[in-house]
Structure 1
Amino acid sequence: MKFAVVDVETTGGAAEMNRITEVGIVLLDGTEVVKTFHSLVDPGAPITPFVVKLTGITDEMVSGAPQFRGVADEIDSLLHGRIFVAHNVQFDYKMIKQELKRCAIMFDAPRLCTVKLARKVFPGFPSYSLHNLTKSLELPDFHHHRALDDTMAAAEILKLALNKAGEETVMKLVRNLKKK
């Protein structure tokens, strides 16, 4: 199983109207990390005070960073042939898909949500937010709302779930998986 665990930070919640400010990707072959990728991204518009407060990412930090077009081919290459995994996968998937579409790159990948996976494999926790889930699973604390840190935390959750429940259980939760 080849996974691409992804997290993005953005200028807002709607993919059609907002842009990515940071991307983190962890590639897993099974439970082994084989590569990581991280980039700040210049969204081409000012970052709102709310987003700055949430993520700590400022206009100054993204000044001089590539716009998404500058990292699109690399991101597409990293994601190709892998299951797209994220905590609340629909958000990250829609943002990546929309940004790739703006670069004339069509993207359609099977998806796995670590929230749904954790609820199935680790039932009974009071909260499945990334922060609270890592605490419940006794994983190390991390810098929340930063793409690579969030991605590494989600990758650890995936690895724990694979080790506890096995590949078959995990694969049953993958959406849009094309049968070979």
Structure 2
Amino acid sequence: MEGGEGRDEIAFFDVETTVPRPRGRTGYSLLEFGAILVHPRQLVEVGSYSTVIRPADPSATSVRSNGINPETVASAPSFPEVADQIFAILHGRVWAGHNIREFDCPVIREAFAEIGQAPPEPKGIIDTLPLLTQWFGRRAGDMKLASLASYFGLGQQKHRSLDDVRMNIEVLKCCAAVLFLETSFPDGFSIKSPGMFCTIIPASEGCSSFAGFLQPAEVSVQDISAEIVPSGHGGDKLQILHGNRLLRLCCMGLKVQFGPRELFKDHAGRPKLNIVVYIPENLCKVLDACDLLAQISFQNSSSRSGWKHVIRKNGYSNPYSIRLQ
């Protein structure tokens, strides 16, 4: 990964070190450096670099650094051998990481000072520890990276530089998503204890501002019908009608729960975002009728695919809690 001053990418980085030495400003020696360059507008990875570093005294390697031991660092390059690469990655960029102001930044500066070389200088620093403590609050306990990762179901912290950097980025994205949802629904938004879903209760405004939309109480199940019509893109689409008009529903004040859940995982084994909507009985009856009619129309069509219900009831504790497919 090449670096250079004036580049726009954000350099998320992390270091692993030995235990404190008896003397020295920070008392740590570098064992590993890892960095990921992230596009500032898309938050996507555009490059990465990591290296194990051989300290002056390999026997001082700490077992707390997961998987890094004297045998691992014996054949690793020394800091002077990788200093130019680390300088190129960091210098002139915005630095980002968890607790980097208090730990990682001083360690980097001391490492360069010890070899008599000017340290890299950041264009700015984003320390996610005070940032998330201020905006996200202490809902994840001590706000350490491991605690935040556990809160969002992202797994255990590995205490290896590149793995921890990627976890830091994912934690930041999760926190940003929750804060965005809280800002979007300022009325009645509450946070459950760690491991529970976040709950949104939107403000009730009625449906007067949604022309052509019906509230569930205004819908007669007997007047609902479904039909297959051309989609205009060379295929067909399903329409749900109420009388002779398209059925458009509006139901304010719904309670929505969302959050990662271990039961549902993606191809990489990570928990998927789970969304559960708690709905009134009259809306449930309307959706059940629409679902049944849609299934019948689908099965009568030429499609060979299997039918998948649009809604799935969420268990017996609350019969009107549904999960949208």
Given the two structures, how large is their TM-score scaled by the length of structure 2?
0.46
* Equivalent residue runs for 1:102-117 within 5 Å: 102-103=114-115, 104-109=117-122, 110-117=124-131
How far is 1:77 from its partner?
Answer: 0.6
In the alignment, what sits opposite 2:33?
23
Aligned match for 2:92, one of 81, 90, 93: 81
**For each residue in 1:108-130, what CA deviation from the matched residue of structure 2 results, as whole angstroms up to 9, or x when unmatched?**
22222111122133222223111
Q: Secondary structure at the match of 2:119?
A: coil
- In terms of fraction of residues, the more strand-rich structure is 2
1:71 correspondence with 2:86: no
Q: Secondary structure at the match of 2:49?
A: strand
What is the alpha-carbon distance in structure 1 between the residues aligned to residue 175 and residue 93 of structure 2? 18
1:94 correspondence with 2:106: yes
* Equivalent residue runs for 1:24-39 within 5 Å: 24-30=34-40, 31-39=43-51
How far is 1:33 from its partner?
Answer: 0.8
Identity of aligned residues (%): 28
How far is 1:64 from its partner?
Answer: 1.1
Higher RCO by CA contacts (8 Å cutoff, separation 6 or greater)? 1
What is the alpha-carbon distance in structure 2 between the residues aligned to residue 88 and residue 48 of structure 1? 24
What is the alpha-carbon distance in structure 2 between the residues aligned to residue 9 and residue 15 of structure 1? 17
Contact 1:26-1:37 at 8 Å conserved across structures: yes
Aligned match for 1:6, one of 10, 13, 37: 13
1:149 correspondence with 2:160: no
Distance 1:26 1:93, change over 3 A: same
Gaps of 5+ in 1: 167-180
Name whichever of 114-123 and 156-165 sits farther off.
Answer: 156-165
Aligned match for 2:144, one of 126, 129, 141: 129
What is the alpha-carbon distance in structure 1 between the residues aligned to residue 142 and residue 27 of structure 2? 29
Q: Secondary structure at the match of 1:52?
A: coil
The number of aligned residues is 164
Say which one has the larger Rg.
Answer: 2
Amino acid at match of 2:36: V
Amino acid at match of 1:74: Q
Aligned match for 1:55, one of 58, 66, 69: 66
